[in-house]
Chain A
Amino acid sequence: MYPAEFDYVAPTTLDEVLAVLAERGDEAKVLAGGQSLIPMMKLRFAFPEALVDVNRVPGLDSLEESDGHLRVGALVRHNDVVTSEVVRRANHTMAAAAPWIADPIVRNLGTVGGSVAHADPLGDWASVMLACGADVVARSTTGERVIPMADFISGPFTTALEPTELLTELRVPKYAGGGGGAYLKMERKVGDYATVGVATHLDLDGGGTVTAAGVALTSVAPHNIKAVEAEQALVGQTPSDALFAEAADLAAGAAEPRDDVRGTAEYKREIVRVFTRRGLAKALELAHAS
């Protein structure tokens, strides 16, 4: 209930943040929304020596389209995505996922970037970013790196970010043609983590063929994963119920769920199947509508 002691700095420029991380990165944690970090500190599962509060750095909260991407700054709050007209037009998977993150109060402070950097295997945003083929942009005193989302997460709470780096934005590619997506989340109640979450993403060309497909899964593997075989089965094909059923089977096969209080492995696998099918159908519906 009471966190351990720590040093606290609240820089007002990005350079200052990076300088602190360069010096103390190994023992410091970045504080953005804090809605995952602070609860861990209160239970003393996390006890960093220093917190670097980045909330006062201007320019990290932009949510805008540029260069064919949707740019999601590190300090974009979950609720900013919920209310964003830009997102509503530009990415249906994100728009579908945002209202289901945590609860309405947490969504006022928690950040998309923070969630991705935290890499909780029960977290939703990483699956969304995997399905949409996003890139992570990381900055340090030595420069900037762009890391494809597919290469970003390597294990539970384990990412490619160095302790000296700050995730400054996510870049989500825009639909090339007619696009759609969905995020279906089985949760026991608002605020619970996903029992199963499935992110879907479809990009269609003028003839209705799938040019890009994303299917990513939450809570059914050691970390968020892409259902690669399911995606490959969709690309270059014309959507149909049979195609989506096949992709759903492949997605269920890609899952590695475990028995726990939320359900048995078989149950979760079946939900992957059902949600993939339903999520692809929804993505198609939105792609046609756009």
Chain B
Amino acid sequence: MTTTEGNAPSATTPEIGGVGHSVRRKEDDRFVQGGGQYLEDITLPGMLHLALLRSPLPHARVVKIDASAAEQLPGVVAVVTGEALAAHDLAWMPTLSGDTQAVLATDKVRFQGQEVAGVVAESPYIAWDALELIDVEYDPLPPVVDPKRALEADAPLIRDDKEGQTDNSCYQWEAGDKAATDQAFAEADTVVSLDTHYPRSHPAPLETCGCVADLNPVTGQATIYMTSQAPHAIRTLFAMVAGLPEENIRVVSPDIGGGFGNKVPIYPGYVVATAASLLIGRPVKWIESRSENLISTGFARDYHMHADLALRRDGTMLGLRVNMVSDNGAFYADAQPSKFRAGLFHVVTGSYDYPAAHVVTQGAYTNKAPGGVAYRCSFRITEASYLIERLVQNAAYELGIDPAVLRMKNFIRPEQFPYHTPTGFVYDSGDYGAALQKALDHVAYAGIAQEKEEARKEGKLVGVGIASFTEAVGAGPSKDYDIAGLKMFDSAELRVHPTGKAILKLGTKSQGQGHETTYAQIVANELGIPASDIAVREGDTDDTPYGLGTYASRSTPTSGAAAVVIARKLREKARTIAAHLLEASEEDLDWEPGRFVVKGAPDRGVTIQDVALAAYTNFPDGTEPGLEGVHYYDPPNLTYPFGSYVVVVEVDEETGVWSVRRMIAVDDCGVRINPMIVEGQICGGLAEGFAMSAMQYITFDEDGNCIGSNFMDYLIPTAWETPRFELDETVTPSPHHPIGAKGVGESATVGSPAAYVNAVIDALAPFGIRNIDMPVTPARVWEAMREAKAGT
């Protein structure tokens, strides 16, 4: 274990509830009483309801829109079309990736479900009645559904709205060193390859996206309640897009019922609602249905990946080549750092030590919903981690080396940190071998061969799968990271009240991660004020310091660090005041959580509460009154959580049905602020990993129809299908984070899919099967076995 002196947090009592305590969540009181205030719960006087008409076709010219019958329906206040928005220059909007996206279609529709018109009415029932009365004439065009087909020279052009766009290429980006990689491959004894498609998935938080736009015609103030994981960034972008003065825009993110990256982008519904409110002069609420959420909002994954791993005969890894084509849908709307067109996919070298890698990526436009960066993907690390961990297992089979042994042999060793990867990451700390060993011990790995034998006698196939992932979170240092130009720092503003309580405000925004509790614990640890005495605020842009929001597991590494820094600054000021109260010099004071005490005179002390009062009533000459400050934290690096997951499955050879016998997860996210909350995050991610590996995906037929646009087709496992999990940990603090914490929200979603899939492939190894793409359904397992048996 590596620890940097000075960043191991000191212990506090359970009453104070600092770092390391499983403090029960403060926010739960309102949620368990039905008192959460989610977007759909918000009602304003005079509020109207917006419903959106969507295209049934994936690719077509819009010939004519006749909304006259809809406008006549009693209760309808307005019908908005692309033409009306175009008059205000609002028919198109910029995306977070520097592209443009249609708000309401003008020339063409480019994906099934694309927004075509909006009805504003007195009730949602009437609005949906009116949608049926809008008559749209379409002239169908051939849809492009396969991204590789999209990139062919003769494919239909999707983005003919973009000047100079002559093909369906969305971006091209590469990382690493081609020459060095070629050299490595030339020296290799073996090259192992894998072709795999990480299918399109969708975060599908249980609450869909929505907003209430309230543009007050008298004051000119725009208040937009929005399900947004990044309210400050949204406010700035709204100011630029809508031309509203930024000081008059207030974005308020209320309680959010799950985000997972789905609630980062700006959606057409937000813009139409805002425009409608502006034009009509009344508040307008838009809340999408589940079908709309699945068919049109920020999806995840859809990477077509090919990788080659060069190795020596003895299993030493030498180099990695990756070619990837991403399906970005009709508009390039990824919410990711602007410098990296494929997100952090180039972390694909994984947990292993080898000198050369070359990653070539290509994005394609297709006639599908826009996006790709979402669903706890950590900016595409889900895709990268899946690829390398699947490839490593195949390499193990190819070389006849045990997959655990092959990993151990090639892991980056603890003494190699900070470790520079061939594609430009600097991993801060890690002990990959310790985590894997712990997981192997839990599963009694040495006995698995025996378990397989015994299962075979009962006609069952047993397999074991490993995934040893390295994550990269906490975007990020201003040198390399920005979204739409906004650097990815974050913030914390802390005020201690005269009565010794405190209020902490941050630029992040929880969607269930427990920030009202964990951030309070951070400050409690530094100042000794009980966490229960510290109120935490996020989400209201008028009331919180500027920040880039919560996604990509960045809150603890950025705002968490900012909270530590500002709390320590206030503690230094508190020391000055304490010295004044105790009539001692600052150097003569010791600090124990919550109290300054004179060295050698333990009964001469003042509590932090005494100091707080004094900051307003009895402060020394020359000291600024109050006990308050704000810090903007520009992280020096990302942080790198990691872990090893081991899954044991059994497969029914007759039906292809598989189930998890054991799922062991050993995670290392550095110092854990609230172990209970960390474990909750991990369990959620392990379940999502299972979902994607087993059943959950969006697909399209050859006509561009979306299959998976409602919960009958998009399958989310229930408590019955979801496996039980066994959790353990190692702790390797981050050397550069003020309390050594790393962030954990996405680790399990990143790392677990490969573990589940590796286990099923391992069960089928006797048939020589090397790959089944996710979702690994019983039908696909059965087909693979049948094909393999027919081949022999």
Contacts and interface: CB of A to CB of B under 8 A. Distances in A.
| A–B contact, 8 Å CB criterion (strictly below) | yes
B718 A189 contact: yes
A76 B657 CA distance: 33
B125 A274 contact: no
Nearest to B713: A261
Contact of A261 (B289, B655, B699, B721): B699
23 contacts: A1-B289, A1-B291, A2-B125, A4-B129, A5-B129, A186-B657, A186-B778, A188-B695, A188-B715, A189-B717, A190-B721, A191-B718, A192-B712, A195-B779, A261-B713, A262-B779, A263-B777, A263-B779, A264-B779, A264-B783, A266-B786, A267-B656, A267-B783
B782 to A, nearest CB: 5
Interface string B760-792: 000000000000000001110011001000000
Interface residues of B, number: 28
Nearest to A103: B718
Nearest to A184: B655
A271 interface: yes
B209 to A, nearest CB: 14
Given A186-B655, A263-B779, 11 more contacts: A1-B289, A188-B777, A189-B720, A190-B718, A192-B715, A193-B712, A261-B707, A262-B779, A264-B779, A264-B783, A271-B655
Interface string B656-672: 11000000000000000
A4 B721 CA distance: 36
A152 B219 CA distance: 67
A262 B657 CA distance: 13
Interface of A: 1-2, 4-5, 44, 103, 186, 188-193, 195, 261-264, 266-267, 270-271, 274
Contact of A2 (B128, B721, B786): B128
A192 B714 CA distance: 10
What are the nearest 3 A-B pairs in CB distance? A263-B779, A2-B128, A1-B289
B654 interface: yes
A250 to B, nearest CB: 18
Contacts of A4: 129
B572 interface: no
A270 B782 contact: yes
A191 B289 CA distance: 20
Contact of A189 (B124, B289, B655, B715): B715
A35 B80 CA distance: 35
A2 B75 CA distance: 15
A267 B779 contact: yes
Most chain B C-beta atoms within 10 Å of own C-beta, residue among A103, A186, A264, A267? A267
A261 B786 CA distance: 18
Given A4-B129, A264-B779, A190 B720 contact: yes
Nearest to B288: A1
B132 interface: yes
A267 B782 contact: yes
Most chain A C-beta atoms within 10 Å of own C-beta, residue among B289, B655, B707, B717? B655
Nearest to B699: A261
Nearest to B722: A189
Nearest to B708: A261
Contacts of A103: 718
Nearest to B701: A261
A65 B332 CA distance: 64
A190 B783 CA distance: 23
Nearest to B128: A2
A262 B707 CA distance: 12
Interface string B400-435: 000000000000000000000000000000000000
Contacts of B125: 2
Contacts of A1: 124, 128, 289, 291
A170 to B, nearest CB: 27
Interface string B702-725: 000001000011011110110000
A239 B699 CA distance: 45
Contacts of B713: 261
A153 B786 CA distance: 35
A271 B655 CA distance: 6
Contacts of A186: 655, 657, 778
Contacts of A261: 699, 707, 713
A61 B656 CA distance: 40
Contacts of B721: 189-190
B656 to A, nearest CB: 8
Contacts of B779: 195, 262-264, 267
A263 to B, nearest CB: 3
Nearest to B707: A261
Interface string B125-169: 100110010000000000000000000000000000000000000
B50 to A, nearest CB: 13
B40 to A, nearest CB: 12
B658 to A, nearest CB: 12
A274 B717 CA distance: 25
B718 A2 contact: no
Contacts of B712: 192-193
Nearest to A39: B712
Contacts of A193: 712
A2 B292 CA distance: 14
A186 B778 CA distance: 10
A190 B719 CA distance: 9
B70 to A, nearest CB: 15
A230 to B, nearest CB: 18
B62 to A, nearest CB: 23
A44 B778 CA distance: 33
A105 B321 CA distance: 50
B132 A44 contact: yes
A262 B718 CA distance: 18
A262 B699 CA distance: 12
